[in-house]
Every structure is written in structure tokens, then in C-alpha cells.
Amino acid sequence: MLGRRRMLRQALRGAGNAPAQQKLHEAQRLMAEGQFVEAAAMFDELGQQAVQHGMIRPAINLALQAGRACAQAGRGDDALAHARRALDLILNAGQPARATRAIPRAAAFLRAQGFTAQAAALEKEAAQRLALLGLSLQALPNVGTRSLPSTCPQCAGPLRSDDADWIDAVSAECPWCGSTVKTV
Ligand SMILES: [Zn+2]
């Protein structure tokens, strides 16, 4: 089995004009600069590439990021569509426990951007699909002031404490490789 760092590199290596890792950095830069439509398109493209390479964890994260970018661009329905695709990927990958955390975060983000109806639709669909598996959506953990390292110790993917998949107050799941990252 390949190491996680190598797997991530493979996942991010695209067939387009620029290496996918470079595109990911570009998409993150566009987000930081408020170019949300362009960022969303780039996250979406990277996500499709990740799916084609069978790299489901990065694909899930990229779909969630595309959704956030759309929400910030004022495109609530597109944001919902990306979040639904992330939900599909999570459930198809047999990782429903991840959805119990990721979907409430995505819904909270939609709500924060004013997309109340889309947030409710996402929560309803996720709750119904998770109920079939005996699971329910979790309340968002109280993150407090703890910080994650800026990059994942396992795969070197960028992490953000204010945008992390928190498991509890001192640990979060790396969105890129799925390992548990402790606060510093
Ligand atoms: Zn990682």
C-alpha cells in the first residue's frame, strides 16, 4: 500500500495544464482574495480529478470547499448541489460517521451566508439517509481557542483551525488523508 503522502500527491496530480497541487494552491489563493466563483470552479475540477483517481477523501473535501466557495459567491443552490455531492461521496465511500460531522458544518456555513432553505434541505436529506444507517447528525463541537498545526503531520495538507472537521475539543480529522490531528 502506498504511503499517505504519496497517495495525496498522486491524487493531486492532474492531467490539466498545471499540476493539480499548484491548482489547489491557486484555488485557495482565489478564496482568500474573494474570487469565489473562480475558486469554486477550480475546486470542482480538482474534485472530479480526485474522483477519477479514486481518491475519495480529497474528493469529499474538494466538493465541500466548492460548496463553500459557491455559498460565498452568493450561489446557494450551487452550494447545496456541491454539498449533496460530498454527501454522496461520503456515503458511497462507506464513511457515514464522517457525514455526521461534515454535513452540520456545511449546513452551518450555508446558514451563515443566509441560505437558510438550502441548509435545511441539506440537513433533512442527510438526516434521512443517515437514519437508514442508524446514525444522526451531530451537534457542532465547541472548538474553543485551540489550534491545529498549519499542515497535517501525515500528509502535509493545509489545515485551518477555524475550518476543521473537529472530532472533539483536541482533535480533528485531516480532510485530505483522514488521519486524526491533535491540537498543538
Ligand atoms: Zn492529512
**158 falls in which pLDDT band (50, 70, 90)?**
confident
Range of the domain at 152: 141-184
pLDDT digits (tens, 9 = 90+) for 15-49: 444 477 788 889 989 998 999 999 999 999 999 99
CA of 152 to the centre of ligand 1 (A): 5
pLDDT given at position 79: 98
Residues 125 and 167 in one domain: no
Q: What cell numbers appear for 183 in the block?
A: 491540537
CA of 154 to the centre of ligand 1 (A): 5
Q: Give the integer Cα–Cα distance in Å for 21 and 132.
A: 37
Q: What's the whole-model pTM score?
A: 0.81
Residues 72 and 151 in one domain: no
pLDDT given at position 57: 85
Residue with cell 491545529: 148
CA of 62 to the centre of ligand 1 (A): 14
**8 falls in which pLDDT band (50, 70, 90)?**
low
CA of 179 to the centre of ligand 1 (A): 6
Residues 146 and 135 in one domain: no
Residues 47 and 107 in one domain: yes
Residues 90 and 161 in one domain: no
CA of 121 to the centre of ligand 1 (A): 30
Residues 128 and 155 in one domain: no
Residues 124 and 171 in one domain: no
CA of 120 to the centre of ligand 1 (A): 30
**109 falls in which pLDDT band (50, 70, 90)?**
very high
As for how many domains the chain has, the answer is 2
Q: Give the integer Cα–Cα distance in Å for 130 and 143.
A: 24
CA of 86 to the centre of ligand 1 (A): 18
Q: Give the integer Cα–Cα distance in Å for 183 and 25.
A: 24
Residues 156 and 76 in one domain: no
Amino acid at 59: A
Average pLDDT over residues 106-126: 97
CA of 90 to the centre of ligand 1 (A): 17
Residues 136 and 157 in one domain: no
Residues 44 and 93 in one domain: yes
In terms of C-beta density within 10 A (0-12 exposed, 13-18 middle, 19 or more buried), how is residue 94 classed?
exposed
